[in-house]
Structure 1
Amino acid sequence: METYARTGQIDSKFADYAPRINSKQLAQLQQLLSTKIPLNSVAVSQFLHTPIGEELLGRLAQVIQTDDLASEFHALRDAMILAARNPQGFTPLEVLRQFPSETVYIKLEKALALVGEVNQFVNQTNDASMVVNQKATLEAQFPFDLSRSENLRQPGRLAWKKQTLTLSDPERDRQIPTDLYLPHSRTRHPIVVISHGLGSDRFSFAYLAEHLASYGFAVVVPEHSGSDSNQLAMLLAGRVRDITSPQEFLDRPIDVSKLLNKLEQLSRFDPELQGRLDLQSVGIVGQSFGGYTALAVAGATFQAQHLKTMCQASQDSLNLSLLLQCGATQLPQLPSHLSDPRIKAAIAINPFSSAIFGQAGLSQIRVPTMIVASSADTIAPTLPEQIQPFTWLTTPNKYLALITGATHFSALASSPNEAIPVLPFVVGTNPIPMHQYLKALNAAFFKTYLMNQQQYRSYLSANYVKTINQLPIQLALVKTLSTSDLSKNLEDRLSLNLSACILLLLVFAPFPLWDWASNSVKPYTRRLM
């Protein structure tokens, strides 16, 4: 394989394997084996020593093995860490080269089962995305006249001022650093809370906070100290053992409620804030773990038994968000809910919700809700974590925005405190269009449901988003989608290919997976030398 990856020539040793896959897959294999990923060996090492990293390693070690079966787990981890030290870049081929054994066995029976899930996510996502786009086309029956409308992608008319608040919660021994973006107007402003994702911080969505403040919202961006960039930095420094604690499933929604309590006090006693905050009109927008947070405070209820059942059945799953959700089973007890009645509208970007809330939990949300999904999301797979959960919402005012070509990280902007740089191949193609989409959608949504300015409802339509689409990232918006619309896509479909198998086994799992051709190959077991 090394000779083939370097020269494209099939030597005598590789000749027995090459005929088993077609020419297109061979070309993919050559590219995948030599694909360089700029990983830091310390970051790889720290992640692979976390419970989630060890869980993934344990599953992969059942597939890729050495002569010493007792040490294959450690052999795989060591090989990945050593490969990441290569100054030329981490590659799947380098991982194979670093194995402390001359012989490596790949058990394709198990490998194909893992690849089947990945391909299932890809195929189902593609099919479901097609359904959503077709529905959006049907809903976009009338042209939208942009010449007579506001450009919601551009800043509003109001100037604003940013100030930083440090809130303390002695009961939980927790600090909540918070940025407040306050319009200069002396009127009462509805509040929008922005909840960042795991390993991120309050600067990642500064662009959205500034935008909403210019439209008259008081925007508060708390930093969740147990799951922020500082937590990730401590992990990489070896000061903590896990990416986050299960307690964060409780602490994040509590952070939001504690923050609103503090703002109520400040609005009564702080001369700068008196009469300027409307605590009865509060919205929330969150991304990833923040998307979970938004759904929780908006009214989704926890389903402990459903979570336990799904986690018991997920032993072969590579759904990273499901691994994270299953961490909540370690909590002594999940409360029935952590909702806050002051929340009147919610937007969840790339959320995960299938296990911890499920259909029963999400159906309890009563406020207007928008779910923003990315078609290339490999962390919280689009169909099971975002599109299907949208069909479980029963609130009459609900929206699904699907951004084709965006990844789990496309919504993020760079932060001065980020522990790991936001790499282009992680974010995907130019994320600026997605940022523009989010600015427009958030402004229209909260204008409609927090300020009750019904003229902005027309912007929450398929025909409007059709007019602001920018290649290569496409936006579609639907208000209705049923389980029956997706029924064909919820069936098990296994489309396997050897290229995906090899990359899946060797590439660091939290990074995005490529989308390959779905040509199938017959399962076989072979000793790879």
Structure 2
Amino acid sequence: MRRALGLWIIPIASLMPIASLIMPSSATAATRITVSYGLLERSISVSSLTTYAQEGTITDDFSLYTRYLDEAQLLQLRQLLRAKSNLSPVAVSQFLYTQQGEVLLNRLGDVIRTESNLPGFYSLRSALILAAGQPDGLTVLNVLEQFPIDGIRVDLSRALGILGDLEALVRQTQGAISLIQQQSALEAQSGTPVSLLTSPDLRLPGTLTWDTYTLNLRDRQRGRSFLADVYVPESQVSAPLIIISHGLGSDRSSFAYLAQQLASYGFFVAVPEHPGSNADQLQALISGRANQVAEPEEFINRPLDIKFLLDVLERRSKTDARFAGRIDMQRVGVIGQSFGGYTALALAGAKINFEQLAKDCAPNDTLNLSLLLQCRALELTRSIPDLQDDRVKAIIAVNPIGGSLMGEKDFAAIQIPVMMVSGGADTVAPALMEQIRPFTWLQTPDKYLVLMARGTHFSTIDVPNGDSQAVPLPPNIIGPDPSLAHTYLQAISVAFFGTYVAGEPSYRPYLGAGYVETLSRPVLPISLIQSLTSAQLAGVRGRPVEPIASPEATQTGRQP
């Protein structure tokens, strides 16, 4: 019982900084927090929280709660109270007035309520914006101090409902991770060995150099202009083409490391920047020049950007001396991350399923943050252009969103080779909902699911340092050892596109569980499977939450 009660105290306190991720000073501040559960109520003074955060001292009224926490949880709570974000009041305000921000505020306001037990939507928004303007930044304590009324009421029954949903999702995800790791180990045992001592190491750069150019593109039909970086390998033969599509809030530089790796292995690489969902768009939102994270039309424009880029490259391969004879337009692959993962799936033939999306968007209590973006597609007209491109022969979708955008039959319609890359600690596009379950819907015979057990939504992105980030990300959000995640993605991308786009049989043995496990390191375990059914996945429900296992590195591989 002591442990169980401790589990809800810290998450309740964490609700405010979670919202912050997403004016003049107030004359009123909350002085007490009342926790209610049915007819039962107990209160704690805000000054007690402040004392604990600043001095580590537990006051008498606070001790009624802390007795349910162990030392690690107490430390976590203090760190949480002291944590801060340096987002500006404009940035916080701009986000909280978007549709996505209001959905989050609605759910948060059901738990954190006013003293008269009304939803805390408006009070929270005001407090978060004002707190961001304080000299020491946006913190939980500053939010409490800027709360426009004297008392805050926390509805424990609603909070426990959210935590119950979260616990169920964590349990199912951990069960799925264990299942994938076990199956990967079995596949590794039955495969053909790939020795890193005698075979080329795909983690290392290839032998070719490359030239880099930036194209300034204008699609007059759509009135849309954008840039694309191209990496042209120094080769005497026409090269297969790989397109890299970045995610929401990223740009052309986010996967430059991957473009360079692919170019060194003889791929012609093009990296477009999607103007309505790139880092500039996020900066425009933060600075007040835009009022949405991304417009619904981006679900159409992103795939059309790539179709237009392919048309341009096809023309220039015949007219531009830099590219003449250098591109094989019959061998094209696409890799995309997050929103870019959706883009790759759309180009491969998966269509938006408005019926499924409307069903999934009906409740506002989702734990899937990516659904806040996916649901915006409901604002599109139902007569959208065909986004599939037959020139695309294989795709890699990294942390893709689309589990609700595209239903089971839409994933089943994809007929080309697909690799899905998932992070077990992804809180933006949760692995179970957005990658693992959709993987079971794929019917193409050439499909792969790669799982980085401790990977996050940001593990594979080359996140810029310091002030160059539109929204600074703390290390715990990025996840453990992103450079290792980059290395994993470099190796498996070369193997996958080498096999299915370049058509080189020598790469095929690398597409096995054994090879991937030779790459795996305990800090960021990685597994690969080629088969998983909905029935298998359903069997993991109800299993207890267990620590993520780290597969032991082996010297075996598998011939798919």
Question: Residue 126 of structure 1 aligns with which residue?
Answer: 174
- Residue among 272, 278, 290 paired with 2:322: 272
- Residue among 206, 213, 229 paired with 1:179: 229
Question: Residue 197 of structure 2 aligns with which residue?
Answer: 147
> Partners in 2 of 1:422 and 1:203 — Cα distance?
17
TM-score in terms of structure 1 length = 0.89
Moved more, 454-463 or 284-293: 454-463
Moved more, 405-414 or 321-330: 405-414
Question: Residue 46 of structure 2 aligns with which residue?
Answer: none
Are 1:478 and 2:526 counterparts? no
Question: Residue 158 of structure 2 aligns with which residue?
Answer: 110
Moved more, 53-62 or 7-16: 7-16
Q: In structure 2, the residue corresponding to 1:489 is in which secondary structure?
A: coil
Question: Residue 289 of structure 2 aligns with which residue?
Answer: 239
Structure 1 pair 246/193, CA: closer, same or farther in 2 (3 Å)? same
Kept after mapping to 1: 8 A contact 2:448/2:530? yes
| Partner AA of 1:377 in structure 2 | D
Are 1:331 and 2:369 counterparts? no
> Partners in 2 of 1:238 and 1:494 — Cα distance?
43
> Partners in 2 of 1:32 and 1:187 — Cα distance?
57
Moved more, 198-207 or 6-15: 6-15
- Per-residue deviation at 1:301? 1.9
Structure 1, unaligned runs of 5 or more: 496-529
> Partners in 2 of 1:492 and 1:451 — Cα distance?
42
| Partner AA of 2:237 in structure 1 | T
> Partners in 1 of 2:381 and 2:545 — Cα distance?
38
Task: Using the aligned pairs only, state the percent identity.
Answer: 46
TM-score in terms of structure 2 length = 0.84
RMSD: 2.3
Structure 2, unaligned runs of 5 or more: 1-48, 547-560
Are 1:284 and 2:310 counterparts? no
Question: Residue 251 of structure 1 aligns with which residue?
Answer: 301
Question: Residue 394 of structure 2 aligns with which residue?
Answer: 345
> Partners in 1 of 2:398 and 2:376 — Cα distance?
21
Moved more, 256-265 or 64-73: 64-73
Question: Residue 445 of structure 1 aligns with which residue?
Answer: 496
- Per-residue deviation at 1:71? 8.1
- Per-residue deviation at 1:339? 0.7
Query: Which string of whole-angstrom CA distances, capped at 9 and with x for unpartnered residues, describes residues 279-322 of structure 1?
Result: 1110000000000000110111221111111111x311131111
Structure 1 pair 40/131, CA: closer, same or farther in 2 (3 Å)? farther
Kept after mapping to 2: 8 A contact 1:303/1:336? no
Question: Residue 420 of structure 1 aligns with which residue?
Answer: 471
| Partner AA of 1:304 in structure 2 | F
Q: In structure 1, the residue corresponding to 2:539 is in which secondary structure?
A: helix
| Partner AA of 1:404 in structure 2 | A
Question: Residue 34 of structure 2 aligns with which residue?
Answer: none
Question: Residue 44 of structure 1 aligns with which residue?
Answer: 92
Q: Which runs of 4+ in 1 moved over 4 A?
A: 19-27, 68-71, 415-418, 490-495
> Partners in 1 of 2:385 and 2:221 — Cα distance?
21
| Partner AA of 1:13 in structure 2 | D
Are 1:368 and 2:422 counterparts? no
Question: Residue 242 of structure 2 aligns with which residue?
Answer: 192
Q: In structure 2, the residue corresponding to 1:205 is in which secondary structure?
A: helix
User: Number of residue pairs matched?
Assistant: 495
> Partners in 2 of 1:325 and 1:116 — Cα distance?
24
Question: Residue 228 of structure 1 aligns with which residue?
Answer: 278
Kept after mapping to 2: 8 A contact 1:158/1:185? yes
Structure 1 pair 474/491, CA: closer, same or farther in 2 (3 Å)? same
Structure 1 pair 182/134, CA: closer, same or farther in 2 (3 Å)? same
- Per-residue deviation at 1:271? 2.2
> Partners in 1 of 2:545 and 2:327 — Cα distance?
53
Kept after mapping to 1: 8 A contact 2:276/2:298? yes
Q: In structure 2, the residue corresponding to 1:391 is in which secondary structure?
A: helix
- Per-residue deviation at 1:435? 0.3
| Partner AA of 1:156 in structure 2 | G
Aligned pairs (5 A) from 1:20-39: 25-39=73-87
Structure 1 pair 23/454, CA: closer, same or farther in 2 (3 Å)? same
Are 1:304 and 2:349 counterparts? no
